[in-house]
Amino acid sequence: MTPPTLSALLQKFFVERLTAQMEASPNTIAGYRDTFRLLLRFATERTGKAPTKLSVEELNSTLVGDFLAHLEGKRGNTARSRNTRLAAIRSFFRFVAINEPAYMLHCQRILAMPSKRYVRRTVDFLDRNEMEALASAPNRSTWVGRRDHVILTVALQTGLRASELVNLCGRDIVVGAGAHIRCEGKGRKQRCTPLRRETLKVLKSWLKERGGTDQDPLFPTNTGKKLSRDALEHIVRRHTLSASRSCSSLKGKRVSPHVLRHSTAMELLHHGVDQSVIALWLGHESVETTQVYMHADLRLKEKALKRMNPKTTNPGRYRPDDKLLAFLEAL
Protein backbone atom coordinates (compact mmCIF):
# COMPACT_ATOMS: atom_id res chain seq x y z
CA MET A 1 0.00 0.00 0.00
CA THR A 2 1.42 3.36 -1.01
CA PRO A 3 1.82 5.76 1.97
CA PRO A 4 0.00 9.11 1.73
CA THR A 5 1.83 12.11 0.31
CA LEU A 6 3.22 15.00 2.33
CA SER A 7 0.39 17.19 1.01
CA ALA A 8 -2.27 14.73 2.19
CA LEU A 9 -0.64 14.30 5.60
CA LEU A 10 -0.38 18.05 6.15
CA GLN A 11 -4.03 18.57 5.29
CA LYS A 12 -5.02 15.70 7.57
CA PHE A 13 -2.87 17.14 10.37
CA PHE A 14 -4.56 20.55 10.21
CA VAL A 15 -8.12 19.34 9.63
CA GLU A 16 -8.28 16.22 11.80
CA ARG A 17 -5.57 16.63 14.41
CA LEU A 18 -5.50 20.37 15.17
CA THR A 19 -9.07 21.37 14.36
CA ALA A 20 -11.21 18.32 15.14
CA GLN A 21 -9.26 16.39 17.80
CA MET A 22 -7.35 19.13 19.67
CA GLU A 23 -9.78 21.98 18.93
CA ALA A 24 -6.74 24.25 18.74
CA SER A 25 -7.34 27.98 19.00
CA PRO A 26 -7.28 30.17 15.87
CA ASN A 27 -3.98 31.67 17.07
CA THR A 28 -2.37 28.23 17.38
CA ILE A 29 -3.58 27.16 13.94
CA ALA A 30 -2.33 30.45 12.44
CA GLY A 31 1.09 29.95 14.05
CA TYR A 32 1.41 26.39 12.72
CA ARG A 33 0.18 27.52 9.30
CA ASP A 34 2.83 30.25 9.09
CA THR A 35 5.55 27.78 10.14
CA PHE A 36 4.72 25.37 7.30
CA ARG A 37 4.36 28.20 4.80
CA LEU A 38 7.93 29.21 5.54
CA LEU A 39 9.21 25.62 5.66
CA LEU A 40 7.62 24.63 2.33
CA ARG A 41 8.92 27.76 0.60
CA PHE A 42 12.40 27.02 1.95
CA ALA A 43 12.17 23.38 0.79
CA THR A 44 10.99 24.51 -2.64
CA GLU A 45 14.03 26.78 -3.01
CA ARG A 46 16.31 23.92 -1.96
CA THR A 47 14.81 21.15 -4.08
CA GLY A 48 13.26 23.05 -6.98
CA LYS A 49 9.98 21.18 -6.42
CA ALA A 50 6.57 22.72 -5.87
CA PRO A 51 5.16 22.21 -2.35
CA THR A 52 2.55 19.69 -3.62
CA LYS A 53 5.35 17.61 -5.21
CA LEU A 54 7.50 17.39 -2.06
CA SER A 55 7.75 14.05 -0.27
CA VAL A 56 7.91 13.39 3.48
CA GLU A 57 11.47 12.06 3.07
CA GLU A 58 12.62 15.35 1.55
CA LEU A 59 11.68 17.19 4.74
CA ASN A 60 14.51 15.47 6.62
CA SER A 61 16.45 16.54 9.71
CA THR A 62 19.17 18.18 7.59
CA LEU A 63 16.69 20.37 5.74
CA VAL A 64 14.82 21.23 8.92
CA GLY A 65 18.11 22.13 10.63
CA ASP A 66 19.07 24.39 7.72
CA PHE A 67 15.60 25.95 7.82
CA LEU A 68 15.98 26.78 11.52
CA ALA A 69 19.40 28.31 10.86
CA HIS A 70 17.84 30.30 7.99
CA LEU A 71 15.20 31.70 10.36
CA GLU A 72 17.86 33.07 12.69
CA GLY A 73 20.51 34.05 10.15
CA LYS A 74 18.46 35.43 7.26
CA ARG A 75 15.09 36.36 8.76
CA GLY A 76 16.52 37.67 12.04
CA ASN A 77 14.29 35.52 14.28
CA THR A 78 15.26 35.08 17.92
CA ALA A 79 16.12 31.69 19.39
CA ARG A 80 12.74 31.74 21.11
CA SER A 81 10.90 32.19 17.79
CA ARG A 82 13.06 29.48 16.28
CA ASN A 83 12.03 27.09 19.07
CA THR A 84 8.36 27.92 18.48
CA ARG A 85 8.71 26.97 14.80
CA LEU A 86 10.49 23.75 15.75
CA ALA A 87 7.67 22.86 18.17
CA ALA A 88 5.14 23.12 15.32
CA ILE A 89 7.30 20.93 13.07
CA ARG A 90 7.73 18.36 15.84
CA SER A 91 3.98 18.25 16.40
CA PHE A 92 3.42 17.39 12.73
CA PHE A 93 6.06 14.67 12.60
CA ARG A 94 4.77 13.18 15.86
CA PHE A 95 1.41 12.93 14.12
CA VAL A 96 3.03 11.31 11.06
CA ALA A 97 4.94 8.78 13.21
CA ILE A 98 1.71 7.66 14.91
CA ASN A 99 -0.39 7.44 11.75
CA GLU A 100 2.24 6.19 9.30
CA PRO A 101 4.69 3.78 11.03
CA ALA A 102 6.65 3.44 7.77
CA TYR A 103 8.02 6.94 8.46
CA MET A 104 8.84 6.20 12.12
CA LEU A 105 12.65 6.32 11.84
CA HIS A 106 12.52 9.41 9.64
CA CYS A 107 10.27 11.18 12.16
CA GLN A 108 12.40 10.15 15.14
CA ARG A 109 15.41 11.99 13.68
CA ILE A 110 13.41 15.22 13.53
CA LEU A 111 11.76 14.69 16.93
CA ALA A 112 15.25 14.29 18.44
CA MET A 113 16.32 17.78 17.30
CA PRO A 114 16.91 19.88 20.42
CA SER A 115 15.48 23.27 21.23
CA LYS A 116 18.01 26.08 21.41
CA ARG A 117 18.84 27.72 24.71
CA TYR A 118 18.46 31.47 24.86
CA VAL A 119 19.14 34.35 27.21
CA ARG A 120 16.11 35.22 29.35
CA ARG A 121 16.17 39.00 29.41
CA THR A 122 14.38 41.02 32.04
CA VAL A 123 10.99 42.31 30.94
CA ASP A 124 10.50 45.88 29.72
CA PHE A 125 7.81 47.94 31.44
CA LEU A 126 6.66 51.52 31.99
CA ASP A 127 6.66 53.30 35.33
CA ARG A 128 3.65 55.26 36.60
CA ASN A 129 4.70 58.58 34.99
CA GLU A 130 5.29 56.90 31.63
CA MET A 131 1.94 55.10 31.81
CA GLU A 132 0.09 58.36 32.49
CA ALA A 133 1.95 60.16 29.70
CA LEU A 134 1.10 57.41 27.20
CA ALA A 135 -2.59 57.26 28.15
CA SER A 136 -2.83 61.06 27.80
CA ALA A 137 -1.07 61.19 24.41
CA PRO A 138 -4.05 60.67 22.04
CA ASN A 139 -5.85 63.78 20.78
CA ARG A 140 -9.29 63.37 22.35
CA SER A 141 -10.86 66.04 20.15
CA THR A 142 -11.15 63.39 17.40
CA TRP A 143 -13.05 60.09 17.26
CA VAL A 144 -9.86 58.11 16.61
CA GLY A 145 -8.08 59.89 19.45
CA ARG A 146 -10.88 59.08 21.90
CA ARG A 147 -10.86 55.46 20.78
CA ASP A 148 -7.10 55.21 21.20
CA HIS A 149 -7.31 56.81 24.66
CA VAL A 150 -9.78 54.14 25.76
CA ILE A 151 -7.63 51.37 24.27
CA LEU A 152 -4.52 52.53 26.12
CA THR A 153 -6.41 53.13 29.38
CA VAL A 154 -7.97 49.64 29.29
CA ALA A 155 -4.70 47.97 28.26
CA LEU A 156 -2.71 49.61 31.06
CA GLN A 157 -5.30 48.85 33.74
CA THR A 158 -6.26 45.30 32.76
CA GLY A 159 -3.03 43.88 31.30
CA LEU A 160 -4.96 42.12 28.52
CA ARG A 161 -2.99 40.50 25.71
CA ALA A 162 -3.08 42.12 22.26
CA SER A 163 -5.31 39.34 20.89
CA GLU A 164 -7.66 39.71 23.87
CA LEU A 165 -7.94 43.47 23.37
CA VAL A 166 -8.78 43.38 19.66
CA ASN A 167 -11.31 40.55 20.16
CA LEU A 168 -13.34 42.44 22.80
CA CYS A 169 -17.00 43.11 21.97
CA GLY A 170 -19.56 45.36 23.62
CA ARG A 171 -21.05 42.42 25.52
CA ASP A 172 -17.70 41.78 27.24
CA ILE A 173 -18.02 44.97 29.35
CA VAL A 174 -20.07 44.56 32.54
CA VAL A 175 -20.97 47.89 34.18
CA GLY A 176 -22.57 48.61 37.54
CA ALA A 177 -21.61 46.92 40.81
CA GLY A 178 -18.57 44.69 40.35
CA ALA A 179 -17.76 46.18 36.94
CA HIS A 180 -15.37 44.02 34.95
CA ILE A 181 -14.20 42.90 31.51
CA ARG A 182 -14.70 39.33 30.33
CA CYS A 183 -12.26 37.83 27.85
CA GLU A 184 -11.08 34.52 26.47
CA GLY A 185 -7.32 34.05 26.76
CA LYS A 186 -4.81 31.37 25.84
CA GLY A 187 -6.10 27.82 25.88
CA ARG A 188 -9.69 29.12 25.72
CA LYS A 189 -9.47 30.06 29.40
CA GLN A 190 -12.11 32.66 30.25
CA ARG A 191 -11.43 35.20 32.95
CA CYS A 192 -12.86 38.41 34.41
CA THR A 193 -10.75 41.49 35.16
CA PRO A 194 -12.15 44.15 37.50
CA LEU A 195 -12.28 47.78 36.39
CA ARG A 196 -11.32 50.88 38.35
CA ARG A 197 -13.83 53.72 38.57
CA GLU A 198 -11.87 56.01 36.24
CA THR A 199 -11.48 53.24 33.65
CA LEU A 200 -15.18 52.39 33.87
CA LYS A 201 -16.10 56.06 33.40
CA VAL A 202 -14.01 56.26 30.22
CA LEU A 203 -15.49 53.00 28.93
CA LYS A 204 -19.09 54.11 29.56
CA SER A 205 -18.54 57.30 27.57
CA TRP A 206 -16.94 55.31 24.77
CA LEU A 207 -19.79 52.76 24.65
CA LYS A 208 -22.28 55.59 24.16
CA GLU A 209 -20.23 57.15 21.38
CA ARG A 210 -19.39 53.85 19.71
CA GLY A 211 -23.00 52.75 19.36
CA GLY A 212 -23.57 49.47 17.55
CA THR A 213 -24.67 46.16 19.03
CA ASP A 214 -23.21 44.02 21.80
CA GLN A 215 -21.68 41.74 19.14
CA ASP A 216 -19.77 44.56 17.43
CA PRO A 217 -16.06 45.12 18.19
CA LEU A 218 -15.42 47.28 21.24
CA PHE A 219 -12.57 49.05 19.42
CA PRO A 220 -13.56 49.24 15.74
CA THR A 221 -11.72 50.73 12.80
CA ASN A 222 -13.11 53.73 10.89
CA THR A 223 -15.12 51.26 8.81
CA GLY A 224 -16.55 49.44 11.84
CA LYS A 225 -14.38 46.34 11.49
CA LYS A 226 -12.28 44.72 14.20
CA LEU A 227 -8.78 46.14 14.72
CA SER A 228 -5.91 43.88 13.69
CA ARG A 229 -2.98 43.17 15.99
CA ASP A 230 -0.72 45.10 13.61
CA ALA A 231 -3.04 48.11 13.87
CA LEU A 232 -2.94 47.90 17.67
CA GLU A 233 0.85 47.79 17.67
CA HIS A 234 0.92 50.81 15.36
CA ILE A 235 -1.39 52.72 17.73
CA VAL A 236 0.88 51.99 20.70
CA ARG A 237 4.05 52.98 18.80
CA ARG A 238 2.53 56.18 17.44
CA HIS A 239 1.32 57.43 20.80
CA THR A 240 4.55 56.41 22.51
CA LEU A 241 6.39 58.68 20.10
CA SER A 242 3.94 61.48 20.86
CA ALA A 243 4.18 60.94 24.63
CA SER A 244 7.98 61.00 24.52
CA ARG A 245 7.84 64.74 23.78
CA SER A 246 6.49 65.39 27.28
CA CYS A 247 8.04 62.37 29.02
CA SER A 248 11.74 62.16 28.17
CA SER A 249 12.21 58.68 29.67
CA LEU A 250 10.05 57.26 26.84
CA LYS A 251 12.51 58.44 24.19
CA GLY A 252 14.17 55.45 22.55
CA LYS A 253 11.96 52.94 24.38
CA ARG A 254 10.42 50.16 22.29
CA VAL A 255 6.87 49.96 23.60
CA SER A 256 4.48 47.28 22.38
CA PRO A 257 1.08 46.04 23.61
CA HIS A 258 2.93 43.33 25.54
CA VAL A 259 5.05 45.97 27.30
CA LEU A 260 1.77 47.53 28.48
CA ARG A 261 0.82 44.10 29.88
CA HIS A 262 4.15 43.93 31.71
CA SER A 263 3.54 47.44 33.06
CA THR A 264 0.22 46.36 34.57
CA ALA A 265 1.90 43.42 36.29
CA MET A 266 4.68 45.61 37.70
CA GLU A 267 2.15 48.15 38.94
CA LEU A 268 0.28 45.40 40.82
CA LEU A 269 3.55 44.08 42.22
CA HIS A 270 4.60 47.52 43.47
CA HIS A 271 1.28 47.81 45.31
CA GLY A 272 1.95 44.59 47.20
CA VAL A 273 -0.38 42.29 45.26
CA ASP A 274 0.54 38.63 45.73
CA GLN A 275 2.09 36.76 42.79
CA SER A 276 -0.75 34.22 42.71
CA VAL A 277 -3.30 37.03 42.32
CA ILE A 278 -1.21 38.64 39.55
CA ALA A 279 -1.10 35.25 37.77
CA LEU A 280 -4.92 35.06 37.94
CA TRP A 281 -5.20 38.69 36.80
CA LEU A 282 -3.03 38.11 33.73
CA GLY A 283 -4.37 34.64 32.96
CA HIS A 284 -1.05 32.86 33.47
CA GLU A 285 -1.10 29.07 33.49
CA SER A 286 1.35 28.94 36.39
CA VAL A 287 2.56 31.28 39.13
CA GLU A 288 6.10 30.51 37.95
CA THR A 289 5.42 32.55 34.81
CA THR A 290 4.76 35.58 37.02
CA GLN A 291 8.18 35.31 38.67
CA VAL A 292 9.80 37.14 35.74
CA TYR A 293 8.36 40.35 37.20
CA MET A 294 10.08 39.67 40.52
CA HIS A 295 13.41 39.40 38.69
CA ALA A 296 12.79 42.64 36.80
CA ASP A 297 11.73 44.70 39.82
CA LEU A 298 14.83 46.51 41.07
CA ARG A 299 12.86 48.37 43.73
CA LEU A 300 11.94 45.14 45.50
CA LYS A 301 15.60 44.12 45.51
CA GLU A 302 16.61 47.52 46.87
CA LYS A 303 14.09 47.12 49.71
CA ALA A 304 15.57 43.71 50.51
CA LEU A 305 19.06 45.23 50.52
CA LYS A 306 18.01 47.89 53.04
CA ARG A 307 16.72 45.21 55.39
CA MET A 308 20.07 43.45 55.46
CA ASN A 309 22.32 44.13 58.43
CA PRO A 310 25.85 45.38 57.65
CA LYS A 311 28.47 42.68 57.91
CA THR A 312 30.86 42.98 60.85
CA THR A 313 33.42 40.52 59.50
CA ASN A 314 35.14 40.18 56.18
CA PRO A 315 34.34 36.79 54.64
CA GLY A 316 37.35 34.68 53.76
CA ARG A 317 37.85 33.01 50.40
CA TYR A 318 38.24 29.27 50.03
CA ARG A 319 41.84 28.28 49.31
CA PRO A 320 42.34 24.70 48.06
CA ASP A 321 45.21 22.86 49.74
CA ASP A 322 45.73 20.35 46.93
CA LYS A 323 46.84 20.77 43.30
CA LEU A 324 44.00 18.69 41.92
CA LEU A 325 41.45 20.62 43.95
CA ALA A 326 43.08 23.85 42.80
CA PHE A 327 42.70 22.69 39.17
CA LEU A 328 39.02 21.94 39.68
CA GLU A 329 38.47 25.24 41.45
CA ALA A 330 40.00 27.11 38.50
CA LEU A 331 37.61 25.56 35.95
User: Among all residues, which ones are annotated catalytic?
Assistant: 161, 186, 258, 261, 284, 293
Q: How far apart, in Å, do the first and last CA atoms of the chain sit?
A: 58
Torsion, Cα 7 13 14 17, to 10 degrees, reads 160
Cα 306 to Cα 322: distance, rounded to the nearest angstrom: 40
**Ramachandran angles phi, psi of 217, nearest 5°:** -60, 140
Cα 22 to Cα 28: distance, rounded to the nearest angstrom: 11
Q: Percentage helix, strand, coil, to 5, in the chain?
A: 60, 5, 35
